[in-house]
Amino acid sequence: DGGITQSPKYLFRKEGQNVTLSCEQNLNHDAMYWYRQDPGQGLRLIYYSQIVNDFQKGDIAEGYSVSREKKESFPLTVTSAQKNPTAFYLCASRSGAGGNSPLHFGNGTRLTVT
Amino acid sequence: GEDVEQSLFLSVREGDSSVINCTYTDSSSTYLYWYKQEPGAGLQLLTYIFSNMDMKQDQRLTVLLNKKDKHLSLRIADTQTGDSAIYFCAETSSSSNTGKLIFGQGTTLQVKP
C-alpha cells in the first residue's frame, strides 16, 4: 500500500540535543511538507520541498533544518536552537503544487523535550 | 494576509446532523478542503471543493461554499460516535506556486451516545 511513514511515533530528548524525525513516502509525490501542531492550534508550516535537492522555509523555520536528497525522503532535524520543540510533527506530500492534488499526511511523530 | 477561522468545539447527539463552519479571507482561494484527525493520528482527507462549485455531496458529507461571504461548511448527516474527531478546514490559492495550504485551528466534534 502506498503511503507516508513517519518514525518514530514517540520521541523523547533532553534539552540541548538535536533530533531528526524521519519521513518516507512511496507515493511518487514530488512535493513534501513538514507541519507542526500544538494543542488548540492549526497546523503551521515549517519547511517544504517541491523537488529533490531544493527546499524552502515555511512560516516557522527557525530552529529547524531539512534535507531532500531523495524523492522519497524528507527528514526534519529539530535543533537545540528551537525554543519550544515539544509538539506533534506531521509530514505530508502531494503529487504537485496544484490545488487538485490534496495533501496526504503521515501519522505524525510526537516529540517531547525535557 | 491569508487566514482561516473555525469555531473550536461542537457537541451533538448520536444520530443528529453536525454542521462545522469555516471562514477564510483569501479571495483568490481556489480549493477548500476538509480533513479529519483522530486522536494521535495524522490528518485524513475527507473531501474538497473547487471554488466554482457551491455544493458537493459525498455519502453522509455535504460541503457548502458561499464565495460571497467566504464561508465554508461541512455537514455530517446521522452523526456517529466514530465521527468524534478534530475537523480542519484548509484552503489553497491558484496564485500560489508552492502548494501551501492554510489551515484553520480545527473544530473538535464530540458525539454523545
Our measurement of the distance from residue A101's CA atom to the centroid of its chain's CA atoms, rounded to an integer in Å, reads 18
Instruction: Find the mean pLDDT for residues A86-109.
Output: 87
Nine-digit cell string for A4 = 507516508
The predicted pLDDT at position A19 comes to 95
B15: left (phi over 0), alpha (psi -120 to 50) or beta: left
Longest CA–CA separation in chain B, Å:
45
Tell me what percent of the residues of chain A surpass a pLDDT of 70.
96
| Range A55-80 average pLDDT | 96
DSSP of B35-59: EEE-TTS-EEEEEEEETT-SEEEET
pLDDT for residue A90 is more than 70: yes
Percent of chain B residues past pLDDT 70, beyond the cut: 94
pLDDT score for A99:
57
Which sign, positive or negative, has the C-alpha torsion B88, B105, B70, B95?
A: negative
A6-16 pLDDT, tens digit per residue, is 999 999 999 99
Q: Are A36 and A44 in contact (CB under 8 A)?
A: yes
pLDDT in tens, A37-54: 998 778 999 999 999 999
Q: Which residues contact A12 (CB under 8 A, 6 or more apart)?
A: A111, A112, A113, A114
CA dist B65 and B36 (Å) reads: 18
**Across the interface, do B94 and A41 touch by the CB < 8 Å criterion?**
no
Mean pLDDT confidence for A84-101: 85
Averaged pLDDT of chain B: 91
What value does the mean pLDDT take over residues B66-91? 95
Listed by number, the residues of chain A in 55-114 with a beta carbon closer than 8 Å to a beta carbon of chain B are: 56, 58, 90, 92, 94, 96-108, 110
Chain A residue numbers touching B44 (CB-CB < 8 A): 105
Structure-block grid coordinates of residue A18: 538535536
In chain A, which residues have their Cβ closer than 8 Å to the Cβ of B33? Answer: 102-103
B66 and chain A in contact, CB less than 8 A: no
Q: Is residue A101 predicted with pLDDT exceeding 90?
A: no
